[in-house]
Each structure stands twice: as structure tokens, then as C-alpha cells.
């Protein structure tokens, strides 16, 4: 059990290796199609640092999405236990058992519930435990729940109602995000095809019409033109990805 900092994703050795191979494959394809040379692979090599950073940010966002989904289900479980007359401490233990069955022992939420159980065993207040969790996760829903829980514990609010309301709100947001993802899935599929089409067309022309691109290879004017085309292509891909990344 470790205290995970959800705002930072540290790639493992295998992830570095896998994504490094993907980056080299992409840069080699770009170099072959746009410049007919492998020299750009060497030129593009320093940009692998930015690439790894982007991959880390993507995996970090995906981890947060998984965490908030698991957190929603944990709140459902805790709420059901509280309704049955359990204390908050025993409700967390019961939730840990259910989440282990649902997501597995190594899931993020089980790791957090194990930490919560250990902290509760040494009499750390539950509101402080969730406050620490919210700080590490930096998820808006968890932060909001932590703040409401702290106010309720301080002023004697209805804990069961708060947890029910929070789980319902988070669940509604997740459902809306899923509906948006489903509505955009066909457009994203079309978008991915459009991203690949220029590369596929260039590969087809190079294989079927040998020498077609020769005028733009190995001369300054051609290199400049192909570089502009490559930059425009990258900008189009980045813009398309940002436009399709709809969240609430």
C-alpha cells in the first residue's frame, strides 16, 4: 500500500520501452515519407522527452477517470452499509471487501481503502483522511465530497444523506460523460480515419508510383515544403484531438 500522487504519472520501465518503440516507429515512418531519409529520426529524438510527458499526462487523466468511477461505486457501498447501521469505520471495511470483488486487490480504490482503514485504526478523523485523499487525487468530485464531509462532521450534518447525494451527483456526471462519449464515438472513428488517410495515401503513392515524390526529396525547397506540410498535419491532428475531448 502506497500513497499515490494522482497528479503525477511515473512510467514504468516497460512503458518507457513500449512507448519509445512506438515513437521511433512513428518518427521513422514520418522521416521515410516526408524526407526519404532516416536523418530526421535523429533530429526528432530530443522531442521524445515531450512525447513521454504527453503520454504521462494522458495516462494520468485515464487513471483519474478510473479512480472517480471506482470512488462512485465505493460511495454506493459505504452508503448501503451506513443505512444498515454500520459505523463509518466498518462501512469503509465493508466497502473494501466489495471493491476487491468488483475491481481487484490492486485497484486504486482498494489501495485507498486499505490506507483509510489503517488511518482509522490509529484514530485519524475520517474527514482528515478524505481531505488527504482529495489533495492527492485533485479530482473535483472527491474534493467537493471531502469539503462537504468536513463541514457536516463539524456541524453535525446527516452523513448518510451527504454520501448518498455525492454518489448520485458523481454518478450523473459519469453517465453524462458516457452519453457524450457514445454520441461522439462515430465522429471519433471518422476522425481517426481522416488522421490516417494522408499517411496511407503517401504510402500508396510511394509504393505504386516510384519517383513521384523525388522532386521534393533531397533539396532545400522540397524539404521546406514537406516540413510545412508536416507541421500543418500535426496541428490538424492536435486540434482535432482537443475538439473531440469533451468533458463536463
pLDDT digits (tens, 9 = 90+) for 164-217: 777 777 778 777 877 777 777 777 788 888 888 888 888 888 888 877 888 888
**What is the per-residue pLDDT for 53?**
93
Longest CA span, the chain: 79
What is the SS3 string spanning the chain?
CCCCCCCCCCCCHHHHHHHHHHHHHHHHHHHHHHHCCCHHHHHHHHHHHHHHHHHHHHHHHHHHHHHHHHHHHHHHHHHHHHHCCCCHHHHHHHHHHHHHHHHCCCCHHHHHHHHHHHHHHCCCCHHHHHHHHHHHHCCHHHHHHHHHHHHHHHHCCCHHHHHHHHHHHHHHHHHHHHHHHHHHHHHHHHHHHHHHHHHHHHHHHHHHCCCCCHHHCCCHHHHHHHHHHHHHHHHHHHHHHHHHCCCC
Give the predicted TM-score (pTM) of the model. Answer: 0.80
Residue 186 half-sphere exposure toward CB, CA atoms < 13 A = 1
Write the pLDDT tens digit of every residue in 211-235.
788 888 888 998 899 999 999 998 9
Average pLDDT over all residues of the chain:
85
Closest C-alpha to 32, from 229, 206, 232, 220: 206
Are 110 and 99 a contacting pair, CB within 8 Å?
Answer: yes
Cell of 204: 500508396
Write the pLDDT tens digit of every residue in 92-110.
888 888 899 889 888 999 9
Closest C-alpha to 74, from 112, 23, 35: 112
Average pLDDT value for residue range 155-162? 72
Amino acid at each position: 500500500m502506497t500513497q499515490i500522487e494522482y497528479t503525477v504519472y511515473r512510467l514504468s520501465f516497460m512503458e518507457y520501452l513500449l512507448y519509445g518503440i512506438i515513437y521511433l516507429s512513428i518518427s521513422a515512418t514520418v522521416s521515410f515519407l516526408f524526407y526519404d531519409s532516416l536523418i530526421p529520426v535523429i533530429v526528432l529524438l530530443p522531442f521524445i522527452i515531450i512525447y513521454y510527458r504527453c503520454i504521462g499526462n494522458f495516462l494520468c487523466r485515464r487513471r483519474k477517470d478510473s479512480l472517480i468511477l471506482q470512488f462512485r461505486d465505493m460511495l454506493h457501498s459505504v452508503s448501503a452499509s451506513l443505512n444498515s447501521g454500520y459505523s463509518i469505520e466498518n462501512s469503509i471495511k465493508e466497502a473494501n471487501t466489495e471493491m476487491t470483488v468488483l475491481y481487484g486487490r490492486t485497484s486504486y480504490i482498494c489501495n485507498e481503502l486499505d490506507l483509510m482503514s489503517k488511518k482509522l485504526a490509529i484514530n485519524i478523523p475520517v474527514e482528515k483522511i478524505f481531505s488527504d485523499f482529495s489533495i492527492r487525487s485533485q479530482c473535483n468530485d472527491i474534493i467537493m465530497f471531502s469539503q462537504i464531509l468536513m463541514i457536516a462532521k463539524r456541524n453535525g450534518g446527516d452523513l448518510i444523506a451527504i454520501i448518498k447525494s455525492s454518489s448520485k451527483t458523481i454518478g450523473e456526471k459519469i453517465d453524462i460523460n458516457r452519453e457524450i462519449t457514445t454520441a461522439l464515438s462515430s465522429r471519433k472513428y471518422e476522425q481517426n480515419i481522416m488522421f490516417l488517410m494522408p499517411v496511407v495515401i503517401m504510402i500508396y503513392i510511394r509504393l505504386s508510383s516510384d519517383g513521384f515524390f523525388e522532386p521534393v526529396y533531397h533539396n532545400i525547397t522540397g524539404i521546406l515544403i514537406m516540413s510545412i506540410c508536416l507541421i500543418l498535419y500535426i496541428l490538424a491532428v492536435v486540434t482535432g484531438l482537443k475538439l473531440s475531448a469533451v468533458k463536463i
